[in-house]
């Protein structure tokens, strides 16, 4: 697997994760191929396999990346908010955005 220390390689990994997320959001896990992901990311299937050893590995990484992203948004939403009720409101707005905004996430989450 590629080194995570190289910023360009980190950017490529993130681009592949985002492409995977979009593909799963549109097609569902079982219908997405590595070729689909590579095409959306603008790379070859071989590049995808350079960063992720298999489709399953890529999907495990995607799930972790999604959870980490949500956690970071939750932390940012409550940062600097002193009132406990306002913290709860801020968390709710992050956790439960409108269905149209979060359609891709829920499709990916349910498929996992």
Q: Any idea which residue has 């996992």 for tokens? A: 112
User: Is 103 part of any domain?
Assistant: yes
Q: Give the chain's end-to-end CA distance (angstroms, integer).
A: 23
Residue 30, domain CATH: 1.10.357.10
Q: Determine if the pTM surpasses 0.85.
A: no
Domains of the chain: total:
1
Domain ranges, residue 23: 7-111
Say how far apart CA 7 and CA 91 lie, in whole Å.
31
pLDDT digits (tens, 9 = 90+) for 45-84: 999 999 999 999 999 999 899 889 888 988 998 898 889 9
């Amino acid at each position: 697997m590629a080194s995570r220390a190289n910023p360009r390689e980190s950017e490529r990994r993130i681009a592949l994760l985002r492409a995977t997320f979009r593909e799963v959001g549109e097609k569902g896990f079982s219908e997405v191929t590595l070729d689909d992901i590579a095409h959306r990311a603008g790379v070859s299937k071989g590049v995808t396999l350079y960063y992720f050893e298999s489709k399953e590995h890529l999907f495990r990484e995607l799930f972790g990346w999604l959870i980490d992203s949500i956690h970071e948004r939750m932390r940012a939403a409550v940062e600097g908010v002193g009132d406990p009720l306002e913290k709860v409101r801020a968390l709710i707005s992050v956790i439960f955005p409108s269905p149209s905004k979060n359609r891709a996430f829920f499709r990916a989450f349910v498929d996992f």
